[in-house]
Each structure stands twice: as structure tokens, then as C-alpha cells.
A and B are shown apart, each in its own frame.
Chain A
Amino acid sequence: MREKEYRYASAAHNGLLFLKSVPGVAFGDRVGIRDQHGRQRNGQVILSSDEVVMIQVLEGTDDLNLDDTWVRFLEEPFEMPLSPDVLGRVFNGIGEPRDDRPPIISRLRRNVNGQPINPIARAYPREFIQTGISAIDGLNSLVRGQKLPIFTGSGLPHNKLVAQIVRQSKLLGEESRFVVVFAAMGVSYADAGFFRDDFESNGVLGNVAMFINLADDPPIERLILPRTAMTAAEYLAFDQDLHVLVVLTDMTYYAEALREVATAKGDVPTRKGYPGYLYSDLAEIYERAGRVRNRHGSITMVPVVSMPSDDITHPIPDLTGYITEGQIVLSRELHNQDLYPPVNIPPSLSRLMKDGIGKDDTREDHPRVASQLYAAYAKALEVRNLASIIGPDELPDLDRKYLQFADGFEQHFLAQGVDEDRSIVQTLNIAWELLSLLPGEVLSRVSEADLARYHHWDRTT
């Protein structure tokens, strides 16, 4: 740490503080700032030259009195102290306790930015996680080490769904459960409280590390929070051999904070005013999920991303989709029909599903059933659309079957209780009940052997 404290910053606005003529300051250096009330703020150097140093202040700069603001360069990056005791604790964005308990004391501290994983050190994720939710397990299976976001909108039950995933997730034939790293950025007190209560009532609070920045906390701190949380997750997974489930909510508030700072810095805006580096910035966070060869633990990530105005092409869900390994998209239309979980099937996808399901993992017919359900539901939605124009009575027989299929699929396959934990076999059996509403000839995605074994069209007609 430099002994010297500097005063007389030349300017401060929008969370940025400018200092003139402080030579040799390191880019990315952590900065301690003492304001006129003697309160400590945290900052980071985001541009450094001998003429001017630009500091991003996590707590904001609105009310700084520059005549009485003291800046100290700490000569270190932001670091998170790490020990197994992080579980059961609540932290703020920079890893300081928020739970009135003493800070984590450990000699092990890591730079919150982490280092990129060498791609060849990764192990391909392929172990099926049963969440007990048919829309996920059957059609968009999650595997250990995957990053699978939930695309949602205001008022949709994403919290309920995430909590259900956290509660029910398990590996088939394995006892060990996940430990959870919960990172909240810009969410309401009520939302954060909902998760806390859910963890508590399930008796797992001791297995959860929480990193919280609420809606009324300083927004710039959100930029560092997921990095701090991922540093803890990496430690738990790759040093402590634990299987970690990371929940990041809500990445949209994170990205908005990023835009705020980018605008203040004068970065060239691209779509909707977000800076061009939003993709890389998000990737730095999301790509920290995964499996590493020769390490026992894993990081599975479920980020929550709300789609502003339910628009999936908005830059935040769009860029997220380009980075993550699929997405679970929630539908307002289904939600308005009181259907839970309201998963919008066509745009939902799990890219890592293909290697985690089938004969040795779930059931032999699973990949083809999933593909068939997708195809049949897509066709059924077309028919439903047509029926709304010309009336269902005008439809040919087969099309009426498709209508029945669509309804059944939504009511019996998609819909389930918040506490209903279905096995994958149950899920697949429900799928076959529904596929049996359609004649075998149109089911070209499943094999003839599958039809012989599971299809019972004759019994249902």
C-alpha cells in the first residue's frame, strides 16, 4: 500500500473520480477513498496515465466533497478471502460481511477477476442433473457444470422456479447435494428474503454463501459482485471438491449498471446504449462455470436474466444466449393461464443435453422423445393458430388430434406443483401418454422400436 493519501481530485461525476498528476498508478488497482464524513468508499482504477487517473467508485460519487476527499492507492487488485467458512455467510459485493459477523480471515485471498480457464483443462459436462421438473429434465436437461439461464420478465415466477431447482436438484444414484452460491444484484429486499427463507426452511442455509446487493444499494458495486461470488464458487468447487450451484439474479441489473458506468466514461454505445464489450464482460462471468479435468468439484450456473419488455432480442438476453449453453424461457401467456412453471418450450434449449441423456444416463428413448415432443408441439401450435382463424371444426381429424396433444402437453407435462419432484422416468412416461394421442406414422423422430415399446395409440383412441 502506498503511504500517501491524495486529496484534491479534479472532478467527480457518475461514479467516476478523476485525479490529476499521480504518476505510476497501476491499472485495476484497488483504491480506498475517505469521504468528507470520514466514511470509507471503495474504488478501482480504470484508466491510468501520469496526467490523469480515472477511478470507478463502487459507492458512487454523487455527494463527494472534493476538498475533503482522500484517496489511497492500495497496490492490490480486489481480492476475496477464502475458507470453507464462506458457506453459511452473507457478503456484500466486495466480500465484506453483511451479516454482522466477523470478516473471513484467511491467508488465501484471490483476485476476484480470476484467470481464464485453459480450454483444454476443461472436462466436458455430461452428468445429468434431475431437477424433478419435466420441462427441464425431459426437454432441456441440465448437466453438471452447465450454465443455463432463465429468461424471464417482471412478475413471472422465476424465483419460485429457481428455488425449486435448488431444492430438488440431484444426480441420479448419488447422495451428495449441491452447495449454493447465491448472488443477488439489484433485486428487492423481498426477493432476496424469499430465497433466504426458502433456504432456511429447507435447512440448507449452512450450505449457502450469499452475496447481496439490493435494489437500494450502490449500483456500481454490482459490477464486482458476481466476480467475487464466482471466486468463492471456484474455491468451493476446485479447491474444496464440492459441487456448486450458482444462482445469479438478476443479470439485467448487472448489465444496466455496466451501461451506466460505460456512458459516464464516454464509451462508444452500441445497441440500446450498451457498450460493445458487454458480450466479453458477461462471458468473463459466465465462462467461469464448468468442470475441470482432474478436479472433483463442478460449477453449475443458473443466471436469472429478465427480458426488458419481454423482448428476447434485447441485448442482455441476446448476448447471454450467445454465451450460455442454452436457456429456459418463461412465457407470460402461459403464466396468465395460471400454468406453472410457464416454460415457453420452442425457444428454450439445453445445448449440453445431448451428452447427458440416453441409455446410460436417463433412458434409451430420451433423446428421440425430446426431439419428437418438440416437433409435435411446434406442429400443434401451428394448428392451434390455424384453429383460432378458421375454427376447430373446420380442421381435419389429424389436426384435431394435434390440438388435443397441445392441451395435454401443457396441462400434464409442463404443469406441475412447486413441490412436485418427478423422476425422469415419470417425465418420460407422461411424454409417451401424450405422444400416444397421435398416430405412429407422424412420429418420425422416434424409432420404430420406440413406437413398438412405448406407443399405445390404439388404447387411447
Chain B
Amino acid sequence: MTDTGTVIEVNGPLVRAHLPGTANGEQVQLGALGLTGEVIGLDDDRALIQVYESTEMLRPGEPVTPLGHPLSVELGPGLLGGIFDGIQRPLQSLMSEAGDHIPRGVSIAALDRDKPWSFTPDTELKTGAEIRGGVVLGKVQETDAIEHRILAPPQTRGELLELAAPGDYNLKQVIARVRGPQGDIQELKLFHRWPVRIPRPYRKRDNGIAPLLTGQRILDTFFPLLKGGKGAIPGPFGAGKTMLQQQIARWTNAGIVIYVGCGERGNELVDILESFPNLTDPYSGRSLMERTLLVANTSNMPVVAREASIYLGVTLAEYYRDQGHDVVMLADSTSRWAEALREVAGRLGQMPVEEGYPAYLASRLASFYERAGRVQTLCGDSGSVSLIGAVSPPGGDFSEPVTNHTKDIIQTFWALSKPLADARHYPSVSWTESFSDSVDAAAIWWSREVDASWQEKRTQALNLLGRAEELARIINLVGAEALSPMQRWSVEMAALVREGLLQQSALDEVDSYCSPQKQFALLDLIISLYQQGKVLVQAGVPVSSLLALPEIGRARRAKNLYGNEQMQELAALGKEIHARLEKMRREYEEQSK
């Protein structure tokens, strides 16, 4: 550890200090208040420090104490259900200690040191066994829904001398001793630390194979993301980024959800905290909060900690991945993170290249998203981290740097559209601007688990939407009367796809979550109706008499009328519609004879 230094200059969140011997990334404490900061640049024996807390009333001459380690996260049981700030201070304890506001200079350990956990050692592990990083030493039940495996920290290597017997242990107690190759003794506890800016190691990368289901039709059916994939949700303010991310957090089939509120509203986190404990995970049947972890650095909290919060979140995600879980991390919003980078770069006098952003914006974004993936863990299991970042482009302009670079990196792009949001078409995911590179991979899963015609029907629906868009241009020039009956039918059926399939209100109790089976049933219902109707129109049945059928209204409302468990009723509706059209066709044939 280096000696104490002194503050030379205070410029907002950036401090210059005399601090010989420090290293980039080292954590420091500043001044009488003990503010926390991080060394981000060196210039001889001077250090540039970004401070995670407000520097008000800090002055040149005050001491700077180096802490000897980089910004690290505590990893162990007690994380789930919790809410932490950008540097992993537990907000609940912070409130008990300091009241309604966040004070400065308070440091509280992320994990409760005294809480006992019931530890079950791995019975396969015998004294003398070779221990390497990632080996499962045992497990504790972290929440009723989630089993937490206690892993040897990645750098561990040696021979097991002792493993604790089953029983209650707190985080201060040693649960294993390992003798390293040099004869050094390592004491392992229920938790360890890891520097947030360094990706956690794994054995190898695997391709994604299963879709990350979200219960949202426009995502799962139209623009799927795989477990271990990277997705982005760009959209102007109020388009629905946060709602969509919250919907994913609610309904995803990932085992663990890490939600990072990065520079966004305090009330949105309260919304999660108040609603999630009372919501049930559709897969485990347990309270959603048991699998959820929140990181909150709201827009009014110091900017620099915002930058850290994203790394904190992804490190937590990797840690659960290493235990063999499928983890999804949602970051709202990566633009605020990029702006925090820009802010520090600007104060450092670094050359701005586009809209004030430094040249390394693209590479920082890429290396963040690179931490997503499906991997074989150090102990040989399979686990994944899916990353989904909201992007908040200024003026809703997708050509701005953050959206633009993100688009190059991710696999699934859920572009939100202002016109759709303005018409209250939610989720306002645009079917023309969005894309997914993972449709073929997802199709394998869908045809195996749901229906072999999934991909074909999905394509038909998208084509129909595309055709209607072209026809809309004609209508806007010369009016709907100029369309042929077949064109008119396409336009009407595209509207049905939009209303009956794509629109899905998060606030609707029945429709908020849609199972893959119901997703396909609705798709099938509407596409079959369209195809069958085409035959009738071809035979000369007037479109208006088709549209007058009450069954079409039922198809439009089917998503709200039938719950996920009413698949039979939904199938019956399909049959009913089919029979009705068939009857109509026959009647028409009779008449025209």
C-alpha cells in the first residue's frame, strides 16, 4: 500500500492529488468526510481521481488515503432481494443508518457479516482433493427459490485441507482451508471479492441454443433473443423502454434477474420494490423478489458511481452464471452510463470525437456487451448472462453515437417507435426497424417445443405487415377506395395482427404475460384467418361481409379473453372461425350458381 497523499485540485467529481506509488484503478478515500474515489489516471506522482460522491466542501490540502485494492464487489449469499447503489452500498442498511437521504462518506459492507447461513458441504469433496477456482464447495439456500453454490474464488489453487461440516456459518467464518502450491494457506469463506472491471473467467464459450423467453409476443415471436445474448432497447423518452425491461424482469424464464437503474428515476425502482414481492414467478411459483437483485444509481445520485453501477451489475450477473444459472441483466439506461464516461472524459480534457464522446466509447460499449454469453463454467456447468440495455438517444435520433455503436455490437435490436407510442400501441417495438440475428436458432427451439410451423407463420405475419405498409402509402395518395378487394383484406388483416397480436398491454392482467403456447396459438389463429379469407375474397366474397363477422372481433380480443391456461378455448375459437368462413364460402358458391 502507498502512503497517504494530498488533494491538489477539486474540479467537480474529479480530483487531482499528489499520490506517489498508486496504480490505475486503485480505490482511495478523500478528505475529512472519507469520500470514496477511484484512480483513473496517473501523471508522474500525481493521480487523477474520480469521486463517487459529491465533492462539495472538499479542499486542496486534504488527505487522500489509498485503499490498496480496485473497485470490487462482494459475492456471496445475501445479495438476492437486495438493492445496492452503484458502489454496492446496501440501500436498506444505509436508510436504517442515515435516514431518507444518502449521506456522504458512509461505507457499509454490502453483505451482512453476521447473518448465519445453513451451509451444506459438497460430500464428494474430500480432504486432499485438488481445489481450483470455480469448484463448488457446497451450497446454501439463499432464498426459497434459489440455491446458492459456494464457489472457490477464481484464483484459488491447491489442496483441500479442511471443509466445514454441515451447519450454520456467517460470512466471517472460514468454511474451507486450501494449501497452495507454495505451501501458503488460503482461508475461504462464504463470500469473496472480485474487481468489477475484470470479467470473471470461465472454461469456454458456447453458442446460445434456447430463447430467453419474456412472455412478450413482439419479442419472443418476432425478435427473439437467446439466453446468453445481447439486446438493446433504444427509444425516445416515454416510448416504453423501462416498462419493457420491467416486463422482461417479471416474466423472463431466466433464473436470476439483475436490474440496474443507471441514472434513471427513483420512483421506477420503488415501483419494482413495491410490486415484485407480491408477484409470482410463472416458472418457480415463488415471489419474484427472490430471484431479483437491484442496483440503483438514480439520476440525482452522483454521476461517477453511475459509471461503476453497470460493471457492478454485470459482475454480479457473472457470479450467478458461474453457479450454473441463466442470468439476465437489464440496464436502464446505458446512455446515462455513456454520458458519465463523457463527463469524466470532458473534465480530463480528452479529445471529444462525436457529440462530446471520447474516442473509446465504442470499445467500452463493446467490452461491456462482450461480458454476455453462454459459457461452460470453471466447474463444467453451463450458465449464461444475457445483457439487455436500454438506450436513450437524444431527440430520439438513432444515428447518435451510443445507439449507433450499440447497434453494431448486439444481436437483437428492439427499436421503439414514437408514432406507435403516441398512438398507445404498446410495446411500441417497431417491426420495421427491429431485428434479431437469432431467429434461426430460436426456430429450432420453437419447432421442438411448440409447433413446427412457427418460423413460417412468423414470416407470413411479417410479410403481411410489410405489404400493408406499402398499401398504406397508396391509400395516403388516393384513398382506400383505390385498393382491390384482396389488397383491402391484407390491410384489414395487418391491422388485426397489430391489434390482436403485437399490442400487448403490460397493465392487462390476462395479457401481461403470454406463454409460448398462447403466443403461437394467437399467431396461428390470425394467420389462418387471413389465409382462409384470401380464398373467399378470391372467390368474390365482399371484404365488408367478412369484416362484419363477429368472429373477427373475437379474434381481435382473443388475447384478453383467454388466459394462458385456456388453450383449449382458444383452439375452439380457431375452429369456430374456420367453420364460419367455410360455411360462408359454401353459401356464396350456392348463391353465385
**Chain A residues engaging chain B, CB cutoff 8 angstroms:** 23-29, 46-50, 77, 111, 113-125, 238, 267-271, 275-277, 279-280, 283-284, 287-288, 290, 292-293, 295, 313-315, 318-319, 321-323, 325-327, 346-347, 349, 351-352, 354, 367, 371, 374-375, 378-379, 385-386, 389-390, 394-396, 399, 441, 444-445, 447-448
Q: Is the CB of B238 within 8 A of A279?
A: no
Q: Is the CB of A375 within 8 A of B424?
A: yes
Q: Which among A50, A322, A374 is the interface contact of B424 at CB below 8 angstroms? A: A374
Q: Which among B100, B342, B423, B476 is the interface contact of A121 at CB below 8 angstroms? A: B100
Distance between A102 CB and nearest chain B CB, rounded to angstroms: 29
Report how far A352 CA is from B475 CA in the complex, Å.
37
Q: Which among A322, A354, A378 is the interface contact of B422 at CB below 8 angstroms? A: A378
B352: interface (CB < 8 Å):
yes
B408 partner residues in chain A, CB cutoff 8 A = none
Report how far A367 CA is from B509 CA in the complex, Å.
13
B150 partner residues in chain A, CB cutoff 8 A = none
Report how far A40 CA is from B476 CA in the complex, Å.
65
Report how far A441 CA is from B479 CA in the complex, Å.
22
Report how far A52 CA is from B13 CA in the complex, Å.
17
Distance between A375 CB and nearest chain B CB, rounded to angstroms: 6
Q: Is the CB of B60 within 8 A of A116?
A: no
Q: Which among B94, B356, B418 is the interface contact of A269 at CB below 8 angstroms? A: B356
Q: Is the CB of A27 within 8 A of B58?
A: yes
Q: Is the CB of B9 within 8 A of A48?
A: yes
B21: interface (CB < 8 Å):
no
Report how far A111 CA is from B103 CA in the complex, Å.
13
Distance between A27 CB and nearest chain B CB, rounded to angstroms: 4
Q: Is the CB of A283 within 8 A of B299?
A: yes
Q: Is the CB of A444 within 8 A of B556?
A: yes
Residue of B nearest to A370 (CB): B424
Q: Is the CB of A118 within 8 A of B271?
A: no
Q: Is the CB of B423 within 8 A of A119?
A: no
B433 partner residues in chain A, CB cutoff 8 A = none
Stretch among B361-369, B372-380, B392-400 lining the A interface: B392-400
Q: Is the CB of B266 within 8 A of A280?
A: no
Q: Is the CB of B60 within 8 A of A48?
A: yes
Residue of B nearest to A373 (CB): B424
Report how far A348 CA is from B346 CA in the complex, Å.
34
Q: Is the CB of A287 within 8 A of B477?
A: no
Q: Is the CB of B60 within 8 A of A120?
A: no
Distance between A161 CB and nearest chain B CB, rounded to angstroms: 20
A318 with B237: in contact, given A27-B10, A119-B91 (CB under 8 Å)? yes
Q: Is the CB of A271 within 8 A of B267?
A: no
B112: interface (CB < 8 Å):
no
Q: Is the CB of A394 within 8 A of B481?
A: yes
Report how far A53 CA is from B86 CA in the complex, Å.
31
Q: Is the CB of B237 within 8 A of A322?
A: yes
Distance between A385 CB and nearest chain B CB, rounded to angstroms: 8
Residue of B nearest to A22 (CB): B60
Q: Is the CB of B397 within 8 A of A313?
A: yes
B407: interface (CB < 8 Å):
no
B396 partner residues in chain A, CB cutoff 8 A = 313, 318
Distance between B587 CB and nearest chain A CB, rounded to angstroms: 22
A386 with B479: in contact, given A25-B59, A27-B10 (CB under 8 Å)? yes
Can you list 29 pairs linking A and B with CB atoms under 8 Å apart? A23-B60, A26-B58, A27-B58, A28-B55, A48-B9, A49-B60, A111-B56, A119-B83, A120-B83, A120-B91, A120-B95, A124-B267, A267-B346, A270-B356, A280-B339, A280-B343, A283-B300, A287-B299, A292-B100, A313-B394, A314-B395, A318-B237, A322-B392, A323-B299, A326-B238, A351-B238, A352-B267, A386-B475, A386-B479
Q: Is the CB of B57 within 8 A of A26?
A: yes
A121 partner residues in chain B, CB cutoff 8 A = 95, 99-101
Q: Which among B102, B263, B267, B303 is the interface contact of A118 at CB below 8 angstroms? A: B102
B210: interface (CB < 8 Å):
no
Q: Is the CB of A24 within 8 A of B94?
A: no
Q: Is the CB of B60 within 8 A of A115?
A: no
Interface centre among A49, A120, A399, A444 (most CB of B within 10 A): A120
A321 with B481: in contact, given A29-B57, A113-B56 (CB under 8 Å)? no
B303 partner residues in chain A, CB cutoff 8 A = 277, 280
Residue of A nearest to B239 (CB): A349
A276 partner residues in chain B, CB cutoff 8 A = 339, 342-343, 346, 356
A352 partner residues in chain B, CB cutoff 8 A = 267
Q: Which among B16, B265, B343, B395 is the interface contact of A318 at CB below 8 angstroms? A: B395
Q: Is the CB of A116 within 8 A of B101?
A: yes
Report how far A238 CA is from B99 CA in the complex, Å.
13
Residue of A nearest to B559 (CB): A444
Report how far A123 CA is from B58 CA in the complex, Å.
32
Report how far A283 CA is from B12 CA in the complex, Å.
16
B61: interface (CB < 8 Å):
yes
Residue of B nearest to A280 (CB): B303
- A119-B266, A120-B91, A322-B237 provided; 18 other pairs, C-beta below 8 A? A26-B59, A47-B12, A48-B10, A49-B9, A117-B266, A122-B266, A238-B100, A268-B342, A270-B355, A287-B266, A314-B395, A315-B395, A351-B238, A374-B423, A375-B424, A378-B424, A379-B423, A444-B556
Q: Is the CB of A124 within 8 A of B271?
A: yes
Distance between A282 CB and nearest chain B CB, rounded to angstroms: 9
B465: interface (CB < 8 Å):
no
Distance between A47 CB and nearest chain B CB, rounded to angstroms: 5
B204: interface (CB < 8 Å):
no
Distance between B529 CB and nearest chain A CB, rounded to angstroms: 16
B107: interface (CB < 8 Å):
no
Q: Is the CB of A271 within 8 A of B394?
A: yes
Distance between B585 CB and nearest chain A CB, rounded to angstroms: 22
A326 partner residues in chain B, CB cutoff 8 A = 238
B395 partner residues in chain A, CB cutoff 8 A = 271, 313-315, 318
A47 with B11: in contact, given A322-B392, A395-B479 (CB under 8 Å)? yes
Q: Is the CB of A28 within 8 A of B57?
A: yes
Residue of B nearest to A285 (CB): B300
B359: interface (CB < 8 Å):
no
A292 partner residues in chain B, CB cutoff 8 A = 100
B575 partner residues in chain A, CB cutoff 8 A = none
A50 partner residues in chain B, CB cutoff 8 A = 8-9, 60-61
Question: Interface 1/0s, chain B 504-534, versus A by CB < 8 A?
Answer: 0101000000000000000000000000000
B269 partner residues in chain A, CB cutoff 8 A = 119-120
Residue of B nearest to A50 (CB): B60
Question: Interface 1/0s, chain B 473-486, versus A by CB < 8 A?
Answer: 00111111100000
Report how far A288 CA is from B418 CA in the complex, Å.
28
B60 partner residues in chain A, CB cutoff 8 A = 23-25, 48-50
B499: interface (CB < 8 Å):
yes
For the complex of A and B, the 9 pairs showing the least CB-CB separation, nearest first, are A283-B299, A313-B395, A49-B9, A378-B423, A287-B300, A321-B237, A28-B56, A115-B101, A27-B10
Q: Is the CB of B422 within 8 A of A347?
A: yes
B343 partner residues in chain A, CB cutoff 8 A = 276-277, 280
Q: Is the CB of A287 within 8 A of B265?
A: yes
Q: Is the CB of B267 within 8 A of A346?
A: no
Distance between B113 CB and nearest chain A CB, rounded to angstroms: 21
B540: interface (CB < 8 Å):
no
B91 partner residues in chain A, CB cutoff 8 A = 118-120
Report how far A374 CA is from B420 CA in the complex, Å.
11
B95 partner residues in chain A, CB cutoff 8 A = 118, 120-121
B265 partner residues in chain A, CB cutoff 8 A = 287, 323, 325
B336: interface (CB < 8 Å):
yes
Distance between A19 CB and nearest chain B CB, rounded to angstroms: 13
Question: Interface 1/0s, chain B 121-134, versus A by CB < 8 A?
Answer: 00000000000000
Distance between A71 CB and nearest chain B CB, rounded to angstroms: 16
Question: Interface 1/0s, chain B 284-299, versus A by CB < 8 A?
Answer: 0000000000001011
Report how far A387 CA is from B293 CA in the complex, Å.
52
B116: interface (CB < 8 Å):
no
A120 partner residues in chain B, CB cutoff 8 A = 83, 91-92, 95, 269-270, 273, 296
Q: Is the CB of B101 within 8 A of A117?
A: yes
Distance between A250 CB and nearest chain B CB, rounded to angstroms: 19
Q: Which residues between 10 and 26 of chain B lie within 8 Å of chain A, taking CB atoms?
A: 10-12, 16
